[in-house]
Amino acid sequence: MRQESTYADSFESKKERIYDGLGVSRGIAIGPAYLYARDELHIDQHQIDDSEIDEEVSRFKRAVTRSLKELGKITAVAQEKLGSQSAGIFEAQSLMLKDETFLTSVEERIRNSHNNASFAIQSFISVSRSRMEASGSEYFQERANDLLDVQDRLIRNLHRGKLLSAIEPNSIVISSNLTAADIILFSRRNILGCATDFGGPTSHVSLMARGLGVPAVINIKKVTKNIETGDFVVLDGFNGRLIVNPSERTLTGYRRLQERYQELLENEKALVPLASETLDGECILLYSNLEFQEEVDLVGKYGAHGIGLFRTEFLFLMNGFHDYDEEAQYQTYKEIVSSISPKVTTFRLLDLGGDKMLPMSHREHNPFLGWRGIRILLDKPELLRPQLKALLRATVDGPLRILVPMVSHLKEIEQFKRILEEVKDEFRAKEIPFDEDVPIGIMVEVPAVAIMANRFAEEVDFFSIGTNDLTQYMLAVDRGNNMVADLYQELSPSMLSIIKLTVEAAERKGIPVSICGELASNPLATAVLIGLGVKELSASPTFLPEIKRVVRSVRRSEAELLAKEVLQIFDAEVRRKKLMKWIRNHAPDYYAFLCESEGSSAET
């Protein structure tokens, strides 16, 4: 306590500054900021001793090797997806890394002028760049950026392994952007929270931060420009705020909220072993959304019934598209399936496109209406077939379901099933064991599918409603666009109606249906969803206890009534009040927490 008050006193003279962003992982972090320069690599200049020369040269060489390896992978992906024209740029960058003149010059600078490697690299590159920039040709001025890319890549690799140890433990990491890999790395250093200039709510960083329970706020424009390492800050993951030099009053409010949230989490631990049942004894199945193998332990920790959605994109990204062949995939799937068996794992097939991981130079005017999900997989059997084979092989290791992303036409399912049948035939011929009845499901995220859910339900074994995309497509709103973000309403009557339609169609055909979008993790929505007939929810594991708390305070008849009422409310604010009131009446202690987290932001 003593130390805390000293903190506050010493910052009393400084003015409180508030930056707004988007809260993507809940919780409050209070502590010193640490500025993590990921994109703008800081290049320091220092002299090295004679004794350090050999090590510095080999560090440089290792960085070159690593950079070449990275570029090799990027070139291969670009080649495959976009053809040799685009891949040429990366090939040229590889040639630059093999440029003898460059390599010799850097080594000479290290040996003769005792420059550190980063500085030696920068010296050479900056001379070359300035020549190109001075050429008066727009084209060559732009190509100077290729050199800059090469330099950044090298310097990043030069520091690899060093960055981690540079991060102060128990600090709040501030960066212009973070990768999911960064977050994993940081979580090992016990970081308190993280804030970034950019990023989206469904980006992998956000998912990762939620999974690890690290408070995170993204999209705080220019936060990195306004903050310094060591600044004392409060990070509010509930309301998406970063407060620099908080006043005594602000700090007191946030400490209270932090304690309150801690209590809530403690209470939730007690909920983990309890059944996910409504007051009238109906079981609501709660599943986890995951995307990293490292997260699998969370399924047990948070008491999930299984994995409702395992996104496989990241497995490919982490392992490299080219190296992640059937055998490598099989190893991962097998390990995941057997570690949570007898609980079920639902693997979603590689879901590229939209905003996800197509090579940077593949640009579409309208990616969300373009080449994505199953559309890509059907065009690229070299991606689809190995994944199907690996998944089929893993069916003998435990219960496994296959989920097909971004279906919009019946024909796509027919084509997909034909390919699946061919793969099965091949297995039968080779006598490779697999589960003949492996369930095949589709993502319901396009209104065209939801409206015809009756027909689609005849073709598949289960549905998974992806509310994030469904909301975007249904309401014609890009949630990342600030101009229209307020129109993105997952609980609008149109959304509730289409969810109801889908759930009822599935019910009639006797196939299970789950909700796997963000809506599933919103405790305000839980009762309404149950009222619409939803019996399965899949969310990031850390949300499950909270959802369970609401489930355990619901009676079906009441939930149905609530759903009926909310279906008539077109005003988002009125709807919200209605749902808050419902929580107040049914889960009062949770309501107190919800109010507290909102009150804190009102005060500041």
Partner 1 sequence: MIVEQVQVRNQAGLHTRPASMIVREAARFSSDFFISKDGYEINGKSIIGVMTLAAEQGATLTLTFEGEDEVDAAKAIVKIFEEGFGEEL
Catalytically active residues, by annotation: 204, 516
Distance set, CA 371 to CA 193, 324, 345, 451 (Å): 35, 22, 27, 22
Residues 488 and 475: beta-carbon distance below 8 Å: yes
- Residue 586 tokens, joined: 């049914």
Residues 241 and 257: beta-carbon distance below 8 Å: no
Distance of CA 406 to the CA centre of its chain: 18
Distance set, CA 414 to CA 346, 373, 410, 508 (Å): 20, 15, 7, 22
Stretch that binds partner 1, among 96-104, 436-444, 446-454, 465-473 (CB under 8 A): 96-104
Stretch that binds partner 1, among 34-42, 125-133, 200-208, 328-336 (CB under 8 A): 125-133
Within 10 angstroms of residue 295's Cβ, the number of other Cβ atoms is: 22
d(CA 219, CA 77): 29
- Residue 75 tokens, joined: 């070139």
Among 3, 13, 44, 139, binds partner 1 (CB under 8 A): 139
What's the min distance (Å) between Cβ of 92 and partner 1?
4
| 137 scored as a contact of partner 1 (CB under 8 A) | yes
Q: With respect to partner 1, which residue has the nearer C-beta, 95 or 164?
A: 95
Among 66, 143, 256, 362, binds partner 1 (CB under 8 A): 143
Q: With respect to partner 1, which residue has the nearer C-beta, 132 or 524?
A: 132
In 3D, which of 306, 278, 234 has the Cα closest to residue 462?
306
Q: Which helix (H) or strand (E) holds 355?
A: none
Tell me the one-letter amino acid at 484. V
| 407 scored as a contact of partner 1 (CB under 8 A) | no
What's the min distance (Å) between Cβ of 95 and partner 1?
5
| 155 scored as a contact of partner 1 (CB under 8 A) | no
d(CA 484, CA 69): 42
| 140 scored as a contact of partner 1 (CB under 8 A) | yes
Q: With respect to partner 1, which residue has the nearer C-beta, 143 or 159?
A: 143
| 91 scored as a contact of partner 1 (CB under 8 A) | yes
CA torsion angle 446 413 458 367 (round to 10): 0
Among 135, 331, 338, 361, binds partner 1 (CB under 8 A): 135
Who contacts 522 (Cβ-Cβ below 8 Å, separation ≥6)? 490
What's the min distance (Å) between Cβ of 88 and partner 1?
5
Within 10 angstroms of residue 127's Cβ, the number of other Cβ atoms is: 10
What's the min distance (Å) between Cβ of 44 and partner 1?
23
Could you tell me how many residues make up the chain?
A: 604
d(CA 283, CA 536): 9
Who contacts 147 (Cβ-Cβ below 8 Å, separation ≥6)? 96, 125, 128, 129, 132
Among 11, 19, 102, 287, binds partner 1 (CB under 8 A): 102
Q: Where are the alpha helices (DSSP H) in 380-409?
A: 381-394
Residues 276 and 286: beta-carbon distance below 8 Å: yes
| 95 scored as a contact of partner 1 (CB under 8 A) | yes
Q: Which of residues 277-316 bind partner 1 (CB under 8 A)?
A: none
> How many residues form the binding site for partner 1 (CB under 8 A)?
21
> For residue 193, what are the β-bridge partners?
172
Residues 292 and 273: beta-carbon distance below 8 Å: no
Stretch that binds partner 1, among 97-105, 231-239, 333-341, 492-500 (CB under 8 A): 97-105
| 107 scored as a contact of partner 1 (CB under 8 A) | no
| 92 scored as a contact of partner 1 (CB under 8 A) | yes
| 132 scored as a contact of partner 1 (CB under 8 A) | yes
- Residue 152 tokens, joined: 């950044």
Strands (E), 143-189: 172-175
Distance set, CA 168 to CA 176, 188, 208, 210, 236 (Å): 17, 11, 20, 21, 20
Among 43, 82, 89, 265, binds partner 1 (CB under 8 A): 89
Q: With respect to partner 1, which residue has the nearer C-beta, 2 or 139?
A: 139
Q: What is the per-residue binding string for partner 1 in 465-504, x denoting contact by CB under 8 A?
A: ----------------------------------------
Among 146, 325, 459, 565, binds partner 1 (CB under 8 A): 146
| 147 scored as a contact of partner 1 (CB under 8 A) | yes
| 83 scored as a contact of partner 1 (CB under 8 A) | no
| 160 scored as a contact of partner 1 (CB under 8 A) | no
| 128 scored as a contact of partner 1 (CB under 8 A) | yes
| 148 scored as a contact of partner 1 (CB under 8 A) | no
- Residue 112 tokens, joined: 């003769």
Among 13, 51, 101, 568, binds partner 1 (CB under 8 A): 101
Stretch that binds partner 1, among 99-107, 115-123, 226-234, 471-479 (CB under 8 A): 99-107
| 149 scored as a contact of partner 1 (CB under 8 A) | no
Q: With respect to partner 1, which residue has the nearer C-beta, 5 or 85?
A: 85
Binding site for partner 1 (CB under 8 A): 88-89, 91-92, 95-96, 99-102, 125, 128, 131-132, 135, 137, 139-140, 143, 146-147
